Structure 1
Amino acid sequence: MIDIDQLLDHAIKETENVNLNEEFLLKDLFKGYEWNRIPHKDRLLLGILFLRYVENNKTFITPFKKTSSKQQIYTKARRNRYGV
């Protein structure tokens, strides 16, 4: 059984490995086989929770734009949108 909170914690922790000004998708924060083992409905929920986390916390991760397949692209900046 998938624990969505553990997956969210993993994704948040993995953002530490993203370089400044680097664009990434949520799935980039997981190994390919790990991402593929997450059921589609849980991936959608994880995407919603990750976006909500980024928008509601003072992180250096910013929603940037969407791909043609509607996947959210994020970027890591030196300063967050609150100027910190």
Structure 2
Amino acid sequence: MKWLNIQTLWEKDLGKEIRKGLSYRKMFNNFSDSQTEYIFRSLNQPFVRSLAVRYGHIDSPSDLIGKVLGRGFDLASPGSIIG
């Protein structure tokens, strides 16, 4: 019975993050080499770095990815920074 509670709490806490991470990983796996290089070069932009400082957390990296994408940064297309 105690194990069920621990498992339920773990799944509730981390399950959503794991599902998001797998979804982002599948997307990333489909990128071309030039798209991947673009992403890593773009991570050094001031607005991305400021978002990382503010929202980055080791236990929930999808929060940061969501903030970056929500600011008009399209990970799939080089040159697609909107704002």
Q: Normalising by the residue count of structure 1, what TM-score does the alignment of the two structures yield?
A: 0.28
Q: Which has the higher strand share?
A: 1
Q: Normalising by the residue count of structure 2, what TM-score does the alignment of the two structures yield?
A: 0.28
Query: Which of 1 and 2 has greater Rg?
Result: 2
Say which structure, 1 or 2, has more relative contact order (CA 8 Å, 6+ apart).
Answer: 1
